[in-house]
Amino acid sequence: VPEQPAILTDIEGTTSSIAFVKEVLFPYARSRIGAYVREHGHDPEVAGAVAALTALLRDEGGLRTTAPHALDLALDRLIDEDRKLTPLKLLQGRIWAAGYADGSLVGHVYPDAVRQLRAWHAQGVALYVYSSGSVPAQKLLFAHTAYGDLTPLFSDYFDTRVGPKHDAASYRAIAAALARPAGELLFLSDSAPELDAAASAGLRVCQLVRPEEPSVEHDPRSTHPGARSFDDVLP
Ligand SMILES: [Mg+2]
């Protein structure tokens, strides 16, 4: 069987703008979480998540009264601190799902990324996602874009449950989960430490250095190839 190249892509700064995640998605959940837990407190999943977060906040000394406003502020702070807490992610995910469903949120994907992801998919290149956002959040973003539902393009999704993005073992675990030799996978990311980790696991890598993302720079000492858009990426 001939080797079939496959692509593993990051989201923030790679397929999509960093600002969409940092300046749209997170503030959207932050501004709504207090009202959301009050309006959906009867939902057992929401009630369970609130109970778990309340217990955690009390343990940490971050919640000293039972006033609803105190809980709102404490939940806002957890979002600001980007705490990787399963019940917090569940609530954020529910709020984002509602926002995407009513059209308030539109998942940002760069047009060159849409064009090339479609072309690669049509050529039979398998496409996978690896992002620090949860898998349900990744699917929501790609399901609700200005270009329609892009989720049919992707064969699988990975988040930090497989391991941290700066850890080579995470990339070995992804290759193993996909039953592919690491060298068949091309990893696309804007982040040099992520590319270093993937390369040391044996993946091929390419750094997205988008003019639209001035915070991302290509280290001239880096041996990783760089691309200004997905149009420059060779699978
Ligand atoms: Mg990134």
109-148: pLDDT as tens digits = 999 999 999 999 999 999 999 999 899 999 999 999 999 9
10 contacts 191 by C-beta, under 8 angstroms: yes
User: How many angstroms separate the alpha carbon of residue 208 from the centre of ligand 1?
Assistant: 9
69-117 confidence digits (pLDDT tens): 888 889 999 988 888 888 999 999 999 999 999 999 999 999 999 999 9
User: How many angstroms separate the alpha carbon of residue 185 from the centre of ligand 1?
Assistant: 17
Please give the distance of CA 135 from its chain centroid, rounded to a whole number.
7
For residue 126, the cross-strand partners are 6
Question: What is the rounded CA–CA span in Å between residue 234 and residue 126?
Answer: 14
117 contacts 11 by C-beta, under 8 angstroms: no
User: How many angstroms separate the alpha carbon of residue 130 from the centre of ligand 1?
Assistant: 10
Per-chain residues with Cβ under 5 A from ion ligand 1: 10, 12-13, 190-191
218 versus 194: the higher-pLDDT residue is 194
125 contacts 5 by C-beta, under 8 angstroms: yes
pLDDT for residue 3: 64
14-23 confidence digits (pLDDT tens): 999 999 999 9
Question: Which positions ≥6 away from 191 have C-beta within 8 Å?
Answer: 10, 13, 165
User: How many angstroms separate the alpha carbon of residue 188 from the centre of ligand 1?
Assistant: 9
Token readout for 135 is: 């898998």
Q: Residue range 166-184: average pLDDT?
A: 97
User: How many angstroms separate the alpha carbon of residue 169 from the centre of ligand 1?
Assistant: 18
Question: What's the pTM value of the predicted model, to 2 decimals?
Answer: 0.91
